[in-house]
Structures are given as C-alpha cells and as structure tokens.
Amino acid sequence: MTLSPSPAAALEKLAVPRLDHIDLVTVKLPFVAPFGTSVYVWTDKEAMLMRLESGGAAAWSECVSDPDPFYFYETNGTARHIIKDFLLPLVEPGMTLGDLEARFRHVRGHGMAKATIENGLLVLIATQSGVPLHALLGRPAKKIMSGISIGLKETPDALLAAVGSAVAKKYHRVKMKIKKGQDVDWVRAVRDRFPDVRLMVDANGDYSLADAPRLRELDAFDLMMVEQPLSYNDIFQHAALQKEMKTAICLDESIHGLDDAAAAISLGACRVINIKQGRVGGLMESMRIARYCADRGVDVWSGGMDETGIGRAVNIHLQTAEGFTLPGDTSETSNYFDEDIAEPPVLLGPDGFIDIPDGPGLGVRVMPDRILKRAVRMERLR
C-alpha cells in the first residue's frame, strides 16, 4: 500500500507569526427565526470571535460553541477559559503549527477552543501571504455545494413551506430536524410533496436502541442518511443500529477527531461523517478525517453551527478539500441573519452552488462597526 502524504503535512510546517494583539469579542446576532432541534431552541447566535494582529495584518476566527452545553460540552465560557488559561500560553512565535498541535494535545478535548486559535493562525498566515485560505490549504478554488438545515417547525404546513422555498432556491439537499414524536409522519409529508428532493434527517441524539423499530420506518423514504440518531457520545450502539437499518447513519456529535472517525468506520457505526471543523479541533484535523474517509469510501460533508460570516467562510474554504463529496450545512446568510458581521453575504447561484470568496485570508470583509454594535463582551488578552 502506498502512503500518500497527509493533507495537513504542508500546514504542519508553517510558522506561527508574532502576535502583537489578541482580542476576544463575543457578539450576539438575532436569528431571523428560532432554530428548533430535539435538544434546544436557539433564538440567536452568541459567538465568541478572536482577532489576531501581527505587524499590521489582522485575522478573525470564530469559536463555534454556543453559550450553552446543549449540543456539545464546550460553551463560550469554557472556550474562553481554556483559550486564556491553557492554550494561548502554549503559543510561541516561530514554532510550527505541527508543534503547536502537539502541545495542544496536552489539553484534553476542547476542540472548539483549539480550532479558534489554529484557524485564526491559518487565516492570519494566508492574509500575510496574500492568498485565500483555500489556497493555503493547498486547494484550488471551486464552487461549493449547498445544503440547508431546517429546524423543527410548529406545524407540518410550516415545514412544507420551508422545504418548498429551499427546493425553489435549488439547494442541493435538504436536512430536516426530527425528534421522538415528530418524525415518521413529518418525513412522509415532506417526501409525498417533494418526491425528488435529496432529503435527510437529524435527530441530535434523541433516540435509543429501543427505538430501532421506529427508526427503521424511516427506511421507506429514500433518505440520504439519518444523522446522529442515538446518544451524543455513542459509537458502539450506532454500529448495532446501522446493521438493522438500510438508511446510512451519519455521525455528528460522536466524532471529536480522527480517532473517533476511525473507530466509527471500523465498527460499522456509520457510512457518512459530518465534519464540523470546530468540533474536531480545527482545519488540519478536518482535512485528515476527510482524507481518511475518502481512502475508505466513506462520504463526508461539512456541518455548520449557525456561524456568523466568519465561521461560515472557514467552512466554505474547508469544503474545497479532498473528500468533501456531499453537500453540507452551508446555506445562505439570509437563512440565519438579517445583518451579518461580514460582507458579502453567502448567496446561492442559479444552480444552487456557492462561490468561494477569493480575497486574501477569509476572503470576506469583516465589519468592525457591526461587531461593535453586536458586542456583548470584549477583552484584550494581549
């Protein structure tokens, strides 16, 4: 077997720039509509942003955590603590990103906190080098497939209306949230009305193995996959469920890095993986997982955390990487916010594809006045 180089090998050799200033700014952006899931209903995105300044260049990154631990154990509060007290003290100018990752391993977990720093450094290096982030990742520009995640709705009619407008916009696939008691009938209603839409469901861990007969009913609807049906940390029981279901299982919450992905694949716990770059600790680990999966015929796609335009741009650049074979949760800015903190907004073209921003770094303009307007907390760490 020939071993191809790691897709992150070149990135591991990049040097950490001198950091003149490091700021954390938490912003709160109201959603255009509440986003309902089996675990919580969010009405706004409270995002902790990091700004790195080095010799006149500045780069922004976004911690993808929420203020609460309802989707994931990290919160904006734990990420701030881990970044300030444990991770930033490990960052030294001149060291390589590979060395930094190795040092970060001493801190267990907290991938979202780690990703905030690693992604910020990559954006900073790309900005200083005058290249877009995807080029720094070694990837050519390409159009990105689109996908929308539709939250739980109050009525089937409201759900059908939301799916209808997504289909009209030419989204490449539609994901609908489900929970116990709001599943098979709702999926059937969508499938009956939209027989051809590429459709999938996301349970955010609401079921247990005892619900296998119910989950198996979903096999009737030609779904692309069912995302995280069982508990948020489980791999083993998903393997048992996958044996009983025709529909592919996709893991989201359970995958915290390459080791989890490898375990899940070898156990047969899933046939698809949702890579959220924050949840797995950053862009480099995301590329490793995507490559690992591509080598084994496992599809991956880029998940989302309802990010602002900063995190959304990172997710878009990541999807140029090898292995991202399926449309992800990358939808138009207007699906989340009336006014974002970066310009231009993400828009679908007539064919449903999304253009990659091609300026240096993130390729989008971060709007400081809007960040100030939305800020709920600001601190200069250095």
Contacting residues toward ligand OSB, per CB under 6 A:
71, 149, 202, 204, 252, 303-306, 329, 331
Distance CA 67, CA 305 (A): 12
**Closer of 26 and 149 to ligand OSB (Cβ):** 149
Closest of 234, 199, 232 to residue 218, by C-alpha: 199
Q: What is the DSSP string of 66-106?
A: BSSSSSSS-BHHHHHHHIIIIIGGG--TTSBHHHHHHHHTT
**Closer of 44 and 202 to Mg ion (Cβ):** 202
* Three-class DSSP category at 334: helix
Distance CA 291, CA 7 (A): 7
- Which listed residue (153, 175, 177, 179) is catalytic? 177
**Closer of 74 and 202 to Mg ion (Cβ):** 202
Query: Which partner, Mg ion, ligand OSB, none, binds residue 286 by CB below 5 to 8 Å per kind?
Result: none
Cβ 304 to ligand OSB, closest distance in Å? 2
- What residues line the site for Mg ion (CB under 5 A)? 202, 227, 252
- Which listed residue (45, 153, 179, 276) is catalytic? 276
Cβ 179 to ligand OSB, closest distance in Å? 12
Cβ 316 to ligand OSB, closest distance in Å? 12
Are 370 and 20 in contact by the 8 Å Cβ rule? The answer is no
Cβ 266 to Mg ion, closest distance in Å? 22
Query: Which partner, ligand OSB, Mg ion, none, binds residue 302 by CB below 5 to 8 Å per kind?
Result: none
Cβ 307 to ligand OSB, closest distance in Å? 6
Q: What is the DSSP string of 139-189?
A: ----PBP--EEEPP-SSHHHHHHHHHHHHHTT-S-EEEE-BTTBSHHHHHH
| Whether residue 276 lies in the annotated active site | yes
**Closer of 70 and 86 to ligand OSB (Cβ):** 70
**Closer of 54 and 204 to ligand OSB (Cβ):** 204
| Whether residue 45 lies in the annotated active site | no
How many Cα neighbours within 13 Å face the side chain of 305?
30
Q: Which two tokens stand for residue 23?
A: 């700021």
Catalytic residue list: 177, 276
